[in-house]
């Protein structure tokens, strides 16, 4: 099974997981870049091609190709490059959501419906880099496309002297589960025909944060690279192994279904 992983720095958890325990019969190609992900990529003659010298050099340093033959892949796995809880924070800072728990201080905030908030997040997803790649892939291939969203921030983001006021506000209001559910609905709404993989349930705390054990010691895209000790965004290889299991199971299921029901 030939899997092509396309994403941003969060792809590192899967790079590590595959390096530590390579599944038999799986041929993985990585096409990933820190930041937003591989930007400026063009589809030419059925191939995804990095077009800038800087991107080509960066991919080469990471040991990744700068060209991907779309038709040669059995399935695609997009990692990150989409909306997160941080996409919600500006609206939650100035509004209260109808039906959600709230503080006394929230009474003066403007009211917004879940539907309106979901639509706004869906728009963020629709204009993101993940959708750009979905569009390019679909011009050439009907292969299954899976999306692995960026992990929820570490629970350490709301502890002690953490500066993430917006995340702490969600915890204080008891809105974590509602936030995570809204993000899931927004992705389902914006990504038709894509299998969106939910964050493994055992890794979540307070409904919207990742347990610290799955975030500490996170790696980078380059072999041996490590995220800073105070990083609260990237998941480690233990988390990556759980997600890899999800990916392989979903990809095999999708491929089996497509073989049973050829177009």
Residue 96: beta bridge partners? 111
| Nearest Cα to Cα of residue 111 among 122, 123, 102, 121 | 102
CA distance 13 to 151: 10
CA distances from 93 to 10, 100, 115, 168 (A): 26, 14, 17, 11
Q: Which tokens in the block code for residue 170?
A: 């969600």
pLDDT at 262: 66
pLDDT at 33: 97
Q: Are 218 and 9 in contact (CB under 8 A)?
A: no
- Report percent pLDDT > 70 for the chain: 99
Domain boundaries, the chain: 1-82+133-151+215-263, 83-127+158-193
pLDDT at 234: 98
Helix, strand, coil in percent for the chain, rounding step 5? 45, 20, 35
List, in sequence order, every beta strand (DSSP E) within 19-162. Answer: 27-32, 41-44, 47-50, 67-69, 75-79, 95-97, 110-112, 145-148
| Nearest Cα to Cα of residue 159 among 205, 201, 198 | 205
Listed in sequence order, the DSSP H helices in 78-205 are 85-94, 114-126, 129-138, 165-173, 176-190
CA distance 173 to 193: 34
- Looking at domain 1-82+133-151+215-263, which CATH architecture does it have? 3-Layer(aba) Sandwich (3.40)
pLDDT by 10-residue block (mean), the chain, 263 residues: 98 95 93 96 98 96 97 98 97 93 82 96 97 98 97 93 87 96 97 96 98 97 90 98 98 88 66
Q: Are 234 and 79 in contact (CB under 8 A)?
A: no
pLDDT at 142: 96
- Strands 110-112 and 95-97 come out as parallel
């Amino acid at each position: 099974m030939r899997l092509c992983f396309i994403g941003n720095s969060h792809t590192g958890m899967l790079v590590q997981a595959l390096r530590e325990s390579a599944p038999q019969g799986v041929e993985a190609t990585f096409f990933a870049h820190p930041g937003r992900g591989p930007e400026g990529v063009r589809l030419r003659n059925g191939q995804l091609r990095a077009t800038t010298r800087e991107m080509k050099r960066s991919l080469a340093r990471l040991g990744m190709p700068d060209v991907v033959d779309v038709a040669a892949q059995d399935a695609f796995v997009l990692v990150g490059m989409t909306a997160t809880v941080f996409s919600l924070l500006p609206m939650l800072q100035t509004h209260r959501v109808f039906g959600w728990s709230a503080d006394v201080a929230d009474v003066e905030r403007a009211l917004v419906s879940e539907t309106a908030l979901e639509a706004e997040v869906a728009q963020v997803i629709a204009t993101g880099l993940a959708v750009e790649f979905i569009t390019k892939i679909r011009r050439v291939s009907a292969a299954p496309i899976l999306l692995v969203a960026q992990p929820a921030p570490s629970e350490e983001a709301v502890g002690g002297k953490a500066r993430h006021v917006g995340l702490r506000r969600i915890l204080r209001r008891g809105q974590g589960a509602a936030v995570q559910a809204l993000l899931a609905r927004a992705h389902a709404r914006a990504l038709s025909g894509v299998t969106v993989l939910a964050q493994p349930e055992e890794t979540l705390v307070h409904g919207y944060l990742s347990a610290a054990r799955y975030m500490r010691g996170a790696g980078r895209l380059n072999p041996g690279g490590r995220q800073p000790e105070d990083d609260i965004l990237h998941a480690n290889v233990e988390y990556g192994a759980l997600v890899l299991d999800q990916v392989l199971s979903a990809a095999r299921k999708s491929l089996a279904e497509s073989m049973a029901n050829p177009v």
